[in-house]
A and B are shown apart, each in its own frame.
Chain A
């Protein structure tokens, strides 16, 4: 397994990044991304007629002196939007070389650091067949240490249950925001429906799809006995070049399906192979905004 290391220059490069989303979310002022919702912002948005109960402080008194009509001046708000990172902590993440779970933790750590630098409120939420204990962090880069401790203590175990986890997540966190899902999206029940459910609820979904090289192109030949890491189910089969090509085609088709789910509701998708260094992945497919 390739060792992950980060140096000062990488940290400095991370500090130049910002977590960006496209959707407009309501919320209190204090964020960095503009919203189509009006509120206590700095940028002018629009005018509208005054109605009973509106705040008199927002009346455009110059227009009133000229037209003798009460017109309200609306401003574009930059709300504080919660950023939530869902980390797949199921058993299937422990397979592959390099290990997907370690890679996911490093990615989550880097993204959290970026969010903390921009004073975002970041929630780290591991899941497998249920939601594990989360970590809410915020308040700047100086609060990064608890994130490291939390990620260090994470252990991958159990099956993946996207539907159950998403339902529980929506129930727990009703406020819409940016949801980054770092996973291999391997769920026997399928993950399209729950991801669509997540997007339909109003979250902006950013799917980071992790796979190892052997997840996509298994290097095995001959008679093999494969064991499902999550269920323990065993299958004996003969695996040759044709079967390998068919496997890769199936995998690519599945990845395309996941991507479509993400893009369907204006979300983002980034497929990352774990042989790519984390630094390169962040400044590559993730910085590109996911397509």
Chain B
């Protein structure tokens, strides 16, 4: 029998102190009884001095004795008196089962995780029955699978239900979590059991100082042959819209040199291959090009047999390459053709104004010096619209006008600069609330934009302007603003799950960044030092949009850590031997508290009630009295 919270000396000291207080209260307070009387008229004090006579003895010794015993019992309950010896006290253990991607590796019929499960169950069965165990599954995030419990079948079932994850184990965070669980919920400090191969990223390994003293290892063999794809990047060539470049990064996790044949297929048809020879621990990249404008699935596969099959193949989805269709109504197509042909993302069709259709089969309609009778049903670019029939108000045309400034915050004028640029001939637009001025001249606005149309008062392919760099840039900006989805540049990357870090291009504003997961659900992200960071613990697809660029991350590869933790020699290993399943010490504080409370109740029933003022005891409602008084009378009447 021992106290959990106090030593015997502390318990006796506290009890003695409280008992002394109670004793003093009995002498001081109970020596004088409070009585409520009808009058003080007839009371006369006794001639004998009372003080010395009564304060030397207890008037109700049994009451005081009961109270002292009750206080002792309650104090023992607070001190958590336990039956048994301290070394038999039940302990709370945290069993950390490594469920990282590496644990899916096989060395034969069993995977590493199966071996770790077997070790965990053997350890669990060696524990005293009173010890409580919490199971934590650990990959990038430690996740508790059970609470602290002595229910061994339930814990074993939770161990057997553990499956390998897709991320690497964060050993440092897992140890912190286990230690925190023991502090918050554990009543008796037990061990932290680590069962697994302990592969982690270098930053996630604990230092020796951070290692808790109560760690025990149940290691499984981790020296395996494995070569895996780390990353696959797929992007369209900047020079050719139909040419795709595939970059594949492969890593050798083994301790010997490995040959890794790589095959690339698109829609099940081989489009390229490579053979890599990898030194132990080395990572190399292969670059393969192929040409297509169709959408489909591209697969990169390592043709070999090793411990982990999941990282031998990665599949990416190629988006369909859509071109922007532009319908140009002009009498002089030669003026616009150089400007439109310069952009490889669009295809232009030219027609005279007489063939104008408001709902032409195109994404953008260009109206060159022509005002149609019906407003275009598509997004439109109006070039030098005639004053009669123009959809916006116009002022008188001007000649030899100097261009004074561009509204650079608008996408149409992004990056445009011009010095001493004069327009030979231009229309001038009247400013209004519905339009945004894009270019300003000495005489007024010469380029404006409304909700779904752009208006140029000058022709970018005529006069001196055609020799300026401003003309093609303005056209490209305008077309991209009119059809942003189609013009968006795409890049597809196959990555492993976990932390993703992407360097952002210069000038990209944080407000324009979007990170979307499956079903376009926003994924939390942060931007630190020009790098976009986000975390995904599950396989899936994540889209990162930064301005006009979209990067698609196909997170299908497992995150396999590069480092294996070498535990210090002092750390205990294996299943402890010689542990006997004896009866652990048992809590009895609940019974002590109940007994103390009962004793106080008995004391109050015997002695406490008589100390109440007389009027409280005598209260009997007058209503009841007179009801009884009158009841027979009413019957008689």
- Count how many pairs of residues, one from A and one from B, have CB atoms less than 8 Å apart in the complex: 154
B40: contacting residue among A93, A215, A226, CB under 8 A: A226
Determine, out of B42-50, B193-201, B238-246, B589-597, the stretch whose residues face the partner at the interface.
Answer: B42-50
* Interfacial chain B residues near A16, Cβ < 8 Å: none
Most buried by A among B50, B620, B625, B635: B625
Partner of B31, one of A100, A106, A223: A223
Interface residues on B, range: 35 or more
- A93, A186, A230, most chain B CB atoms within 10 A: A186
Query: A16 vs B622: C-alpha distance in the bound complex, in angstroms?
Result: 26
CB within 8 Å for A215 and B38 given contacts A4-B629, A95-B615, A223-B50: yes
> A6 touching B629 by the CB < 8 A rule?
yes
Given contacts A226-B43, A240-B46, A8 and B620 within 8 Å (CB-CB): no
The 3 residue pairs across chains A and B that have the minimum distance between CB atoms: A238-B50, A237-B45, A92-B38
When the two chains form their complex, are residues A6 and B628 in contact, meaning their CB atoms are under 8 A apart? yes
Q: What are 21 A-B residue pairs whose CB atoms fall within 8 Å in the complex?
A: A1-B620, A4-B628, A5-B628, A8-B636, A11-B633, A11-B636, A96-B38, A97-B614, A105-B626, A141-B637, A144-B633, A145-B630, A151-B622, A186-B41, A188-B39, A226-B36, A230-B39, A238-B48, A239-B46, A250-B41, A251-B42
Q: Is B623 in contact with chain A by the CB < 8 A criterion?
A: yes
Shortest distance in angstroms between A111's beta carbon and chain B's nearest beta carbon?
13
Check if B44 sits within 8 Å of A224, measured CB to CB.
no
Known contacts A4-B628, A6-B632, A97-B614; is-contact A226 B46 (Cβ 8 Å):
no
Q: Does B605 contact A (CB under 8 A)?
A: no
User: Could you give, for residues 23-66 of chain B, a 1 whenever the CB lies within 8 Å of some chain A CB and a 0 otherwise?
Assistant: 00000000111111111111111111110001000010000000
The interface residues of chain B lying within 8 Å CB-to-CB of A51 are: none
Decide yes or no: A229 and B38 within 8 Å by CB, A151-B622, A239-B46 being known contacts: yes
Contact B618 A98 (CB under 8 A): yes
Q: Which residues of A contact B (CB under 8 A)?
A: 1, 3-8, 11, 92-100, 102, 105-106, 109, 113, 141-142, 144-145, 148, 151-152, 154, 184, 186, 188, 215, 218, 220, 222-230, 233, 235-240, 242-243, 246-247, 250-251, 254
Q: A222 touching B54 by the CB < 8 A rule? A: yes
Which residues from B are CB-within-8-Å of A246?
44
Most interface-central of B50, B628, B633 (chain A CB within 10 A): B633
B617 proximity list for chain A (CB < 8 A): 1, 97
Scan B293-325; emit 1 where CB is below 8 A from any A CB, else 0: 000000000000000000000000000000000
Q: Which residue of A lies closest to B624 (CB)?
A: A3
Given contacts A152-B623, A238-B50, contact A247 B43 (CB under 8 A): yes
Closest Cβ of chain A: how far from B390's Cβ, in Å?
95
CA distance A113 to B626 in the complex (A): 13
Known: A226-B35, A242-B47, A247-B44. A109 touches B629 (CB 8 A): yes
CB distance from B607 to the nearest CB of A (A): 15
* Chain B residues whose C-beta falls within 8 Å of the C-beta of A141 in the assembled complex: 633, 637
In Å, the complex CA distance between A230 and B615 comes to: 13
Q: Which residues of A contact B629 (CB under 8 A)?
A: 4-6, 106, 109, 148
- B530-552 CB mask vs A (1 if < 8 Å, else 0) is 00000000000000000000000
Complex alpha-carbon distance, A25 and B27, angstroms? 64
Whether B38 lies near A142 (C-beta < 8 A) is no
* A247 and B38 alpha carbons, distance in the complex (Å): 13
A contact residues around B633 at 8 Å (CB): 6, 11, 113, 141, 144
Residues on A with beta carbons closer than 8 Å to the beta carbon of B36: 95, 226-227, 229
Are B40 and A228 in contact, with the CB atoms below 8 A? yes
Beta-carbon contact of B618 and A227 below 8 Å: no
A8-B636 Cα distance, complex, nearest whole Å: 8
Interface centre among B33, B618, B629 (most CB of A within 10 A): B629
Q: Is the CB of B40 within 8 A of A7?
A: no
The smallest C-beta distance from A185 to any residue of chain B, in angstroms, reads 10
Chain A interface mostly: mixed
Closest chain B residue to A219, Cβ basis: B35
Closest to B32 in A: A223
Query: CB-nearest residue of chain B relative to A237?
Result: B45
Q: How far is the CA of A7 from the CA of B636 in the complex (A)?
A: 10
Residues of B within 8 A of A144 (CB): 630, 633
Q: Which B residue sits closest to A220, measured CB to CB? A: B35
State whether B620 touches A99 (Cβ < 8 A).
yes
- A95 in contact with B632 (CB, 8 Å): no
Q: In the complex the two chains form, is B35's CB within 8 Å of A227's CB? A: yes
Q: Which of B33, B46, B59, B615 is in CB contact (< 8 Å) with A243?
A: B46
User: How distant is B60 from chain A, measured CB to nearest CB, in Å?
Assistant: 12
Contact status B44-A152, CB under 8 Å: no
A222 CB contact (under 8 Å) in B31, B618, B619 = B31
Q: Which of A4, A8, A148, A230 has the most CB of B within 10 A?
A: A148
Closest CB-CB distance, B627 to chain A, in whole Å?
8
- Cβ contact of B38, chosen from A4, A102, A184, A242, cutoff 8 A: A184
Query: Do B33 and A224 touch (CB < 8 A)?
Result: yes
How far apart sit A264 and B146, CA to CA, in the bound complex (Å)?
Answer: 94
B residues 577-624 with Cβ under 8 Å of A? Answer: 614-615, 617-620, 622-623
Most buried by A among B33, B626, B635: B626
B33 touches A254 (CB 8 A): no
Q: Which residues of B contact A222 (CB under 8 A)?
A: 31, 33, 50, 54, 59
B625 with A106: CB separation less than 8 A: yes
Cα distance A96–B613 in the bound complex, in angstroms: 11
B32: which A residues are within 8 A, CB to CB? 223-225, 236
**A237–B622 touching, CB < 8 Å:** no
A102-B625, A142-B637, A243-B46 known; 5 new pairs, CB 8 Å cut-off, are A8-B632, A95-B615, A218-B37, A228-B39, A254-B41
Nearest-neighbour CB distance to chain A for B26, whole angstroms, equals 13
Contact yes or no, B33 A188, CB < 8 A: no
Task: Please report the C-alpha to C-alpha distance between residue A186 and residue B38 in the assembled complex, in whole angstroms.
Answer: 8
A234 to chain B, nearest CB (A): 9
A98 cross-chain contacts in B, Cβ below 8 A:
618
Question: A99 contacts B618, CB within 8 Å?
Answer: yes
In the complex, how many angstroms separate the beta carbon of A81 from the nearest chain B beta carbon?
Answer: 25
Kindly report which residue of chain B lies nearest to residue A91, judged by CB atoms. B38
Report yes or no: B42 in contact with A224, Cβ–Cβ below 8 A: no
CA–CA, A56 to B338, complex, Å? 152
- The residue in chain A whose Cβ has the minimal distance to the Cβ of B615 is A94
Say which residue of B47, B59, B614 sits within 8 Å of A95 (CB atoms).
Answer: B614
Alpha-carbon gap, A97 to B616, bound state (A): 11
* Cross-chain contact of B630 among A3, A105, A148 (Cβ < 8 A): A148
- With both chains docked as a complex, state the minimum distance between the C-beta of A34 and any C-beta of chain B, in angstroms: 30
- Least CB distance from A122 to B in Å reads 16
A229, B618: Cα distance in complex, Å: 15
